[in-house]
């Protein structure tokens, strides 16, 4: 199969950087592409403004006014939304790090709809692009543009032209052929309105007589505010602060507090090196890795299969070859933004290294 690099041999160098221009070779500082003009997206701006004001007010209500049942329900809805995002659109649909049978895919799609994070296809395309062209203009939330841009600023402006130009080159045929993802795309608005907004507020109102006002601001707005910021920290903090035990030449880091906030997505240096590993973390880092725990559970009951993991030998080799020399907490100063290996977005990326494919462990292959 023709690889991405071959298809784009004229522009593909420096690991997916469309041009070397964005990094000043003398200062090693990111230089914004001059032709990229910021165009505001007012709808996103107003929604975020409302969500922040309403969500912070909801936090006050949650702590001082709402019933304890509403507090537990709000947490539960947030937790399920996160699992839909991490077990579903992230590890399953974006990275193909395991496979899931129809009932599990439907469940994950519903949980993902609760999180108000868009259409599965679009999320996965952006995320594959994020891995493939990490921290370049073709990366939706390029962390070289600073903390705020990578955290949430990218939502407020139109995407860099490189994002859609390079995004079109990523194979999305697997998701376009997935009936559950197609259904979610087709019925996106009703699913969103029902699962993300209406249901979380209706349950406290109906079942334990919480006021509609309190239920809306807590279980809907406050919950969404907390979970989106937890997600945003992966693109900002986990691309800036922490260690790089697996590859010091890339920006993603191992960040404990992001792992706690997201129930297991902060082992981000590992995840960028082995995006097709369903654990998204090396063994031993699983205390907060609830997504892995749930995928293991679904595998045991036969709903998840072909769970891919990097072998210990493969990880050790990579740590010795490109790690920052420390698997605990040590500062790492990046002096070179170029990496020696091509990035890949996950399993089935045509640019996957042969030794990675050969060294992968597959847990519970589907028995016909």
Distance CA 272, CA 85 (A): 17
Distance CA 288, CA 264 (A): 5
Output the smallest distance, CB 131 to Zn ion, in A: 6
Output the smallest distance, CB 94 to Zn ion, in A: 6
Output the smallest distance, CB 265 to Zn ion, in A: 8
- Residue 56 structure tokens: 């912070």
Length of the chain: 368
- Residue 206 structure tokens: 């109906």
Distance CA 219, CA 271 (A): 31
Residue nearest to Zn ion (CB): 252
Question: Which CB, 129 or 252, lies closer to Zn ion?
Answer: 252
**Site size for Zn ion (CB under 5 A):** 1
Question: Which CB, 200 or 252, lies closer to Zn ion?
Answer: 252
Question: Which CB, 70 or 235, lies closer to Zn ion?
Answer: 235
Q: CB atoms < 10 A from the CB of 257, how many?
A: 14
Output the smallest distance, CB 139 to Zn ion, in A: 8
Contact partners, residue 43, CB within 8 Å, separation at least 6: none
Contact partners, residue 49, CB within 8 Å, separation at least 6: none
Number of H helices, E strands in the chain: 18, 4
Output the smallest distance, CB 291 to Zn ion, in A: 11
- Residue 277 structure tokens: 């590993």
Residues 228 to 287 in contact with Zn ion, rule: CB under 5 A: 252
Output the smallest distance, CB 317 to Zn ion, in A: 22
Distance CA 344, CA 361 (A): 18
Question: Which CB, 84 or 252, lies closer to Zn ion?
Answer: 252
Question: Which CB, 220 or 231, lies closer to Zn ion?
Answer: 231
- Rg (C-alpha) for the chain, rounded Å, is 21
Question: Which CB, 245 or 252, lies closer to Zn ion?
Answer: 252
Sites of contact with Zn ion (CB under 5 A): 252
């Amino acid at each position: 199969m023709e690889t991405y690099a071959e298809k784009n041999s004229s522009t593909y160098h420096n690991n997916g950087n469309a041009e070397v221009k964005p990094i000043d070779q003398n200062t090693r500082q990111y230089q914004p592409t001059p032709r990229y003009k910021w165009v505001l997206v007012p709808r996103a701006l107003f929604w975020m403004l409302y969500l922040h004001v309403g969500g912070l007010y909801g936090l006050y209500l949650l702590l001082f006014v709402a019933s304890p049942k509403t507090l537990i329900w709000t947490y539960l809805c947030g937790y399920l939304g996160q699992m839909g995002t991490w077990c579903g659109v992230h590890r399953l649909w974006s990275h193909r790090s395991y496979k899931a049978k129809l009932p599990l895919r439907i469940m994950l799609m519903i949980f993902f709809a609760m999180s108000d994070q868009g259409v599965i296809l679009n999320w996965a395309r952006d995320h594959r692009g994020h891995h493939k062209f990490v921290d370049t203009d073709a990366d939706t939330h390029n962390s070289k543009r600073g903390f705020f841009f990578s955290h949430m600023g990218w939502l407020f402006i139109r995407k860099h032209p490189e994002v859609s130009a390079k995004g079109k080159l990523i194979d999305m045929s697997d998701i376009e052929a997935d009936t559950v993802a197609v259904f979610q795309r087709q019925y996106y608005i009703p699913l969103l309105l029902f699962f993300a907004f209406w249901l979380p507020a209706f349950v406290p109102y109906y079942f334990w007589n919480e006021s509609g006002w309190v239920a809306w601001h807590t279980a809907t707005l406050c919950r969404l505010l907390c979970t989106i910021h937890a997600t945003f920290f992966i693109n900002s903090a986990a691309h800036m602060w922490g260690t790089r035990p697996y590859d010091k030449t890339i920006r993603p880091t191992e960040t404990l507090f992001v792992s706690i906030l997201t129930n297991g997505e902060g082992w981000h240096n590992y995840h960028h090196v082995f995006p097709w590993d369903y654990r998204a973390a090396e063994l031993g880092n699983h205390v907060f890795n609830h997504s892995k725990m749930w995928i293991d559970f679904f595998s045991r009951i036969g709903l998840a299969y072909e769970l891919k993991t990097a072998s210990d030998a493969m990880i050790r080799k990579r740590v010795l070859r490109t790690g920052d020399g420390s698997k605990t907490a040590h500062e790492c100063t990046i002096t070179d933004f170029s990496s020696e290996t091509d990035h890949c977005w996950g399993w089935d990326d045509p640019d996957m290294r042969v030794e990675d494919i050969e060294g992968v462990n597959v847990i519970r292959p589907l028995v016909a």
